[in-house]
Structure formats: C-alpha cells, structure tokens
Amino acid sequence: MRRERILPRIHTRLTGVEVEAWTVADDGEPVSARHALGLARDTGRATPVYGPFPLGAAWGKAWSTTWFRIRGTVPPQPGPVDLVLDLGWFDHSVGGHCEGLVFTPDGTIVKGLHPRQSAIRLDADGAFLLYVEAAANPLLLGLPPFVVTEHGEKGAEEPFEQFMLRRAEVAAFSPEVHALCMDLDVIGGLAAELSADEPRHWRLLRAIEEALDVYDEADAEAGARRARAILAPLLAMPAHASAHRITAVGHAHMDTAWLWPLRETVRKLARTVSNALALLDADPALVYTMSSAQHFSWLEEHYPELFARVRRHVEQGRFVPVGGMWVEADGVIPTGESMVRQLTYGKRYFISRFGREPREMWLPDSFGYSGALPQLARRAGSRWFLTQKISWNDTTVFPHHTFWWEGIDGTRIFTHFPPAETYAAEVTARELRHAVATFKDKAIASHSLLPYGYGDGGGGPTSEMAERLRRFADLEGAARVTSRSPAEFFEEAEAELLEAGSLQPVYRGELYLELHRGTLTSQAAMKRHNRRCESLLRAAEYLSAAASTLRGAPYPHEDLDDIWRTVLLHQFHDILPGTSIAWVHREARDTYREIEERLHGLIKQAGAALSGEQADPAGGVLPPFAVAKPRAAPVDGAVEVADGGVTVLDDGLLRVVIGEDGHVTSLLDLRNGREVVPPGRRLNELQLFRDEPVRWDAWDVDRHVLRHPQVIDEVTSRKVIRDGHDAGVEVVRRAGASTITLTMWLRAGTGRFETECVVDWRERERLLKVAVPVRVMARTARFETQYGYVERPLLTNTAAEEAMFEAAMHRYVQVSDGDFGLAIVNDAMYGADARAAGDSTAVRLSLLRGARFPDPRADVGTHTFRWAVLPGADVPAAAEAAYAFNTPDLAGLPQVAPLVRLEVLTGHALIDWVKQADDGSGDLVVRVYETQGARASARLHCCEELGAGAVLWETDLLEREIGDDEDLPVAVAGRQAGQARLDLGPFQVATLRIAP
C-alpha cells in the first residue's frame, strides 16, 4: 500500500512544461555552463541551438551531453511546488548512469539530479526558466553486477539504448504525505529487524495496521495527518539506556575515476556537492564529509561559486574535509615516498584553503593496507585511521572494529571499521541493526561511525536519509543516532578504548585484504608507468636539489609540484590497480608518457646546470645516494659454453645452465657451492592459468585459478647473445596468440642472474606467471613494502595463511634458511605467490592478466618486464639491489659529489630521498629509513657546499620540527651542526631538514 497508494501522492501534477534541448556536438565533450546558457563562448565550440523536445523522446548516445531548457509557470498553490523530472533512470545504480545538474539562467547551480533526487523546488507563483546539463553516462553496472561491454571507451560503436525523458511537470509537494512515508519506512523497517519474541515488534505492526486503516488516498493530506498521529507515540519512545551509539556523517564516496573518465568526476562532484549544500542549508543539524584534496581543487578550478559555498560551510564545521590525502590512493602499490606525498600534498592543500588539518586517514575502499601506513599517518600528524574494506574478506572475519593498528615499525594508530560494513549507508533499520549485531568490540566500546549517502558514483545523502536520521535519534529498539563530525566521534571512541586498559585490542602488521588480489597485476602499464615516474621523480628532485645547492640554479618547485599532483591522482584506487574502464587507462597511459618526458627534461636541465654547460649524452651517470655494491671483478667475464644445445654461463661468481628448451636447470653460487634450483625444477618457467573470476573480473584472482598451471614449452627460436663481458640466451616462445621473448643474462661481476621478458599479449581471461623455484627451506618470505618488508607465511596451516595465496610486493622478495639468503628483484611487478615446497620455496611472479570487465581489451599489447635472482642476498643486499635495479638509465649527467652521505655504524639504513624543502626556503630535506626490521645507527654527513655551519634537525613529514609532546620515536636528538647521528628503530623513517 505504501508503494502504490502513498508514495505516488507525495507529488501531484499541476501543469506541464515546455522543454527544449541542445545536444553538444563536435567531439561530444562537455561545454561550460556559460557557453550552454549563452553567457559566453567556449573557443572552438558550436553555438547552442535549442529546439523543441517532446516528452517520451530518447536523448543522448553514450557519454554525450544534452542540455535541456525548461520553461513553465507555477500556478497559485498553498504548499510547496516542485519541478519533477525523470531523465530515464533505472531504479538503482545511483551515480552509475545518467545524471543531471540544474542551473538558473545566470549560471547559478541549483542542485544535481539522479534517481533519488528528481525534484527541484520552485519559487512562488510565476514563470520560471531552468537549464539541465544531462550526462548520458551508460549503465555499466547491471544485474548481475558486471557485463562485458565496449561502452567503457569514448566513441564505442556497440549499440546503446538511449535514455528517455519520461517525466517533466510542475507538481504540488505534500510534506505530510512525505512525512508519513518516512514514518512507515522507519517503523516498518524496525519491526522487520526486531525478533517476533519482542513486544515492540508486535506493537509496531499493530500501529502500522491502524495507520493504514485511517489513511484515505482520496484526501491524502488529511489521511496522512490521521495516520501520523497514530504512529507518533511509537516514534517518541526512547532507546534503551545501553543502546549502541552511532555517529552518522553525510558522505558520498566519490571514485576519482572508475566506470567513467576523470572529466566526468569533475561534473559528478558539482552534482553531489550542490545536493549536499542544499541539505546542509535545509537542516542545521547535519554534517557532511568529503575526502581527497584533488576533489576540492577541481571544485575550486571549475566551480568557484560552489567552492565558495563549501568554504563557508567548512568554517561552520558542517562541511568537513577528511582524510588529509590528495586522493584515496591504493593502499599497497605506491612507494613509501608516494604515500608521504599523498599526505603532505593533501594536508597542505586543506591547511592553505581552509586553515584546517584533517587528523584522520580516510581510506574506506582501497584494496588492502600496507603495514607502513600507521607510521606514515602518525608522522604526518594524523591520529586516526578509517576503512571498512576488510569486511569484504573472502576467508576469515576480521576480529575487531575499534582497535589499535600497529604497523611494521611498532607505531600504533587508533583505527575504526564502521560495523555497518558500508561507506554508503542509507540510515535504514537494517543497517543500524547490522552495525549493532556485527560490532566485535561490544565489551569495551559502545560507539561506531556510519557514513551515509550514495557513493561510488556519487549522489551523497538525501532528504529521506536525513528524515530517517532524525527518527532514529532516540528510538526504542534501535541504536541512538547522532549527526556529528568524524573528529568528534574519533575523540570519544579513542577515549572510550583507552578506558579498557589492558583489554585494548591491538592488531599488528599489514591489513591484508582477502579479495581483489588481481589488482596487483591488472593493467600492467599502470604499474610500469607509476614505478618509472616514481624513479624519475627521485632522480629529478635529487639532481634539482644538487643543481640549486651546488650551482645556485632555480629549483623547479612548480613543475615538480604539478608532476607530483598528477602522479598522485593516478594512484587512485581504481586507476593504478587497473579496475577502471578503457577510457581511463588510455588517458592515463598518455598522461604518464607526458610526465616522463617532462621529468627527463628536468633531469637534463639539472645536469646542464651541474656541468655548467649542455649535458653531454656520453657523459657520466647519476651518482646514486643509495647504492648497490659495484661489480666485482669477474674471473674471465661471462663465459659461455655450448654443449649439445645446453648453454653454460660462468663468470666466476655464478654458473648458470640453460637447457635446450630454454629453461634454467641450474644456478650455482660458486662463492659457496650452493645450488639454487631445486632438483627436477626449472627456473624461469612461464606458466599460463585460466583466469575466470567468479565475481570481479579485473579485481580478483581466485584461489582455484592457481591449481592448474599450463607450462609454456613451445620454443620458436633460441640463441646465445653477448654484450661485452655479459653473456646470455634469448628464447622466443608462443602461448596461444601471444609471443614471449625471454632474454636471460649473466651480468658479469654483479652476482645476479637477470631476465628481460617482452610479451606481445593477446590472451583473454588468462594469467601469466613466471616460476622462480629456489632451494631455500623457509617458513616465511619477505615481500618489500613501503619503507620495509612484510613477512608472510609460506605454509598453509591456517585459513588466514592459505588466503595469502597472492600478495603484494614492491621491488624484491627475499627468503633465507639461516645460513643462506636469496632475493628476486623486479622493475615493474607487484603481485606474487610464494609457498613452501619440501626443502625449497616456490616463488612465482605475476606478469599479465586478460580481464574482460570493465575493459574488454585490458593489457592487450606489448609489455616489458625485468627481474633478477641474487643468490646469497640478505635483506640489506636485496634493498640496495632493488634501488639500483630501478634507477633510471640517465646518460649525459656529470659526475658530482653527493649532497649528503650516510655512514652506517651498526645495522643497515638507506637514504631514500633527497629534495628541497616544500616551503621554498632552500633547505634540504633527506628521508632515511632502517631496512631490515632491526636497530641501526648511522651518521649523516653534509657536503662541503652546504657549509660547516649547516644545521640539521628532525621533522615530521610536513617538514615541521617535531615537538616535545609527540609520542613518536626520534632518530636525531635536537639540532646538530654539519653532521647528525641517527639512531633508528626497526623500519623507522626519519625526515631530516638541513639549513645551509
């Protein structure tokens, strides 16, 4: 009855409207509102020509924009009047298909439109004129959730069912009928969640029955008043004294890109934020949150008037910037310095625009969380961490919702997982009941957070959600719900946890997500470009700092800032992981190439300043400041011996045997007589797997996939090659329609066996791995992560251990058996699996996938990968080799003395980054970390040009001096002159500032 006889009476048609339309032609890309409204001309864009548009007509091919001009008259009416539109919505997927943004004729934004926001409040009697920018974003998220479609690319020729303008009319709005709908929604939802054993359940049902008995749709307004009078006493009954407390914050989890391109996110922000502001204006009790400095920056650039309204609400504490990051980045793939910059660029933006520094790290939807994040968040000035994604685990249930998360270095951060297990709640009785039932820490905590509002594609909170929130504020049978800021929640929840004393739960190490393991491999070009940009940025910032310090050259702050912001943007958790549509990744590849060209230009510019003239392409090399050991002197270079199709490579350090089939059957460390390849196994064996995820194509590698490897044995060609002292074997293989070229090198004197793999990839729904079995009996393997490593089990004794069948690595994986270690370093891979196999360890690196959704041709094309095996390498050696292996090949640079030098006294530590201070002072900033999870002491020496009077001190990540009230360990005591002694704890990161 509610659906059929009450909901339709909220709006009653008064009169029709006149609709005209103009479809943006040219390249189909959006135009400015001023252009569409005839207020100004966009250069090179066609003049808008509006023509009559009949109700019921179709509009908009995929990704196009149609502007509607709507005229009408508001007839005399005692109550509110709305313009009601239906652009052809489905009754689901808010933010996942067509949307609209309403403007007045002078260009003022009124509100956004989507399936749950279809009415625009009109002024009193008289004529009106409004414009609607309607975006024909195709529905890519159907039922079942994903269907393979070509609509993820601009200009796709696959047929598209256009949207239809189903409704456009002036209608009277009945507040009383709307309120009755909300009363019934809350009471009916609560009754459904209560047990039939509870009296409250039956009294709610009886009240609903009585209310419906007195409602008469013939006089809906009066009937609604009578019905509400019956329901009012039940809505006035207060919650139990011990009821769980929920802080509800308006939110719209806005994916920076996903099933739409970046340019569409800019418009989604305008629609979502305008709705949120309208809701805040209408209800002074509500609070709205938005993360990602990039999103605020886009509003500032493209919608300055909307941004000014946001700023006013921020000042009032009602529109709350959260997270303190540039974007909601992937939590495991970016390097340590990238995570630092996510925090520093984000926080500096919020401080500069709003005078406020967010204190929480807000990552509800990333695909796992590095164990380095607690330290980085705390060293950036954050106190709290929020996510809910771990509730998606496919094997084990995470044991806590409110707890201390302890990182790999021992730093703790107060952490909360909303037990409603969503970042896009609708404030329903079911969600509140789920929060209470699911909450794991009831014995010591009584409070949780509920982010509500349509997310993923945006939309945000609605007035209906706000109405439910008011009714659930203090209602018998439900949790108490209060609208407050996240900071207010975190302050209270942390204090409550501290009261638990020794019962406070602590979770140590990474937050491994038992799902979405394929994101470590999907769209390999994203990973390679990101790694390359990070390496080039490291070189460019160091060389620019050297050119400024040693030669007085200007430091390119603006260029580097612009490049960093672009790299950080593309580390968003649906771009870098490879889970967006083809359009997003095509644009990203082009952007990455432009960035790499700019970085090479900055490097060349710095090299020229350092040499005093144009850099010589045949000149010196970048002086590394975190170096691998130089080549040892080989016995006779890399000696190649052929014997009946078998090739033996020997440089006096390693001896490699490569069979006629192109597989490595022996890798002998001649320094200690240790054989690396297990008996009967083959190193560099390429394996192909059927990769057909049960649910999430680009996201998942399912456990059953790895059970049935198909070895790629076919050899198209095989030849021995030489390059100076280095020797190797090139093997070309075929796999389906794909061609794979493996070039295996013994790099003379380096102690490493290196492989380059070039793949012309044409496979769909296949996973390509390379097996590197090693004769090392270990219980764990060390996978590099940000500023350290994660030690993961090689055994599968428990369900949680088994669930780590595919895991994240950065530049190395290292295993050891007590007296012998071995490392595998790489230049572009992030996914791997490693398991114990008798007295050996089976390591496989993931190279490529062929997911079909959301990009049907994901990864098709040519890819290059490099990896190397380093027998005898411990963690320090692996870390140094990983740096060297990923250092860009930069010819034409002069030889210069390092700006700073790290003298390690005990243990092991590395200089990770050198740059100029962000404030433009000319100070030098050096980032150092301990590499092996132990303690280290070192002395940092400054070059002569910095001066004997150079002053060194330790700062936080925002380069502010660490105060005495901080509870984080410091590596440098006070301020020191000329040089500084560092005492580092396990995996401790130290940021040092040097004033010349």
Residue 161 tokens, joined:
């069912």
Average pLDDT over residues 776-787: 98
Average pLDDT over residues 442-455: 97
Among 582, 574, 700, 587, residue whose Cα is nearest residue 292: 574
Cβ neighbour number for residue 633 with a 10 Å cutoff: 10
Cβ neighbour number for residue 875 with a 10 Å cutoff: 21
pLDDT at 631: 53
Q: Are the C-beta atoms of residues 453 and 460 closer than 8 Å to each other?
A: yes
pLDDT at 879: 98
327 pLDDT more than 50: yes
Going across the sheet that includes 812-816, the strands are 715-723, 726-735, 738-747, 752-761, 861-871, 821-826, 812-816, 780-785, 788-793
Amino acid at 51: G
643 pLDDT more than 80: no
Residues β-bridged to residue 310: none
Q: Are the C-beta atoms of residues 992 and 955 closer than 8 Å to each other?
A: yes
> What is the pTM for the complete model shown?
0.97
CA distance readout (Å), 229 to 200, 328, 407: 18, 46, 55
pLDDT at 818: 86
Cβ neighbour number for residue 41 with a 10 Å cutoff: 14
Q: H or E segment at 34?
A: helix 33-36
Q: H or E segment at 723?
A: strand 715-723
Amino acid at 729: V
Q: Are the C-beta atoms of residues 481 and 545 closer than 8 Å to each other?
A: no
Q: H or E segment at 193?
A: helix 175-193
Is 454 exposed, middle or buried (CB count within 10 Å of its CB: 0-12, 13-18, 19+)? buried
Q: Which residues contact 753 (CB under 8 A, 6 or more apart)?
A: 654, 656, 664, 667, 744, 745, 746, 747, 868, 869, 871
Average pLDDT over residues 367-371: 98
Average pLDDT over residues 902-929: 97
Residue 486 tokens, joined:
């996240």
Half-sphere exposure of 618 (CA within 13 A, CB side): 0
Residue 219 tokens, joined:
């006089």
pLDDT band of 889, cuts 50, 70, 90: confident
State pLDDT tens for residues 550-564: 999 999 999 999 999
State pLDDT tens for residues 239-290: 999 999 999 999 999 999 999 999 999 999 999 999 999 999 999 999 999 9
State pLDDT tens for residues 45-63: 999 999 999 999 999 999 9
Pairing status of strand 506-508 against strand 402-406? parallel
- Residue ranges of alpha helices (H) inside 780-867 are 799-803
CA 185 distance to own-chain centroid: 35
State pLDDT tens for residues 334-345: 999 999 999 999
630 pLDDT more than 50: no
Q: Are the C-beta atoms of residues 37 and 130 closer than 8 Å to each other?
A: no
Q: Are the C-beta atoms of residues 332 and 808 closer than 8 Å to each other?
A: yes
Half-sphere exposure of 812 (CA within 13 A, CB side): 31
pLDDT band of 612, cuts 50, 70, 90: confident
Q: Which residues contact 897 (CB under 8 A, 6 or more apart)?
A: 623, 943
Average pLDDT over residues 203-221: 95
Average pLDDT over residues 806-823: 96
pLDDT at 619: 37
State pLDDT tens for residues 944-962: 888 778 999 999 999 999 9
pLDDT at 965: 62
585 pLDDT more than 50: yes
Annotation marks residue 697 as catalytic:
no
pLDDT band of 2, cuts 50, 70, 90: confident
Pairing status of strand 319-322 against strand 288-291? parallel
Residue 873 tokens, joined:
């390498």
> What percentage of the chain carries pLDDT values higher than 90?
89
CA 686 distance to own-chain centroid: 30
pLDDT at 639: 77
Q: Which residues contact 352 (CB under 8 A, 6 or more apart)?
A: none
Cα–Cα distance measured from residue 236 to residue 247, given in angstroms and rounded to the nearest whole number: 20
Q: Which residues contact 979 (CB under 8 A, 6 or more apart)?
A: 939, 940, 941, 942, 952
Among 854, 849, 859, residue whose Cα is nearest residue 702: 849
Question: Which residue in 82, 255, 365, 697 is the catalytic one?
Answer: 365
Is 7 exposed, middle or buried (CB count within 10 Å of its CB: 0-12, 13-18, 19+)? middle
- How much is the mean pLDDT over the chain? 94
Cα–Cα distance measured from residue 535 to residue 531, given in angstroms and rounded to the nearest whole number: 6
CA 444 distance to own-chain centroid: 32
Q: Are the C-beta atoms of residues 271 and 100 closer than 8 Å to each other?
A: yes
Cβ neighbour number for residue 275 with a 10 Å cutoff: 29
Cα–Cα distance measured from residue 408 to residue 458, given in angstroms and rounded to the nearest whole number: 35
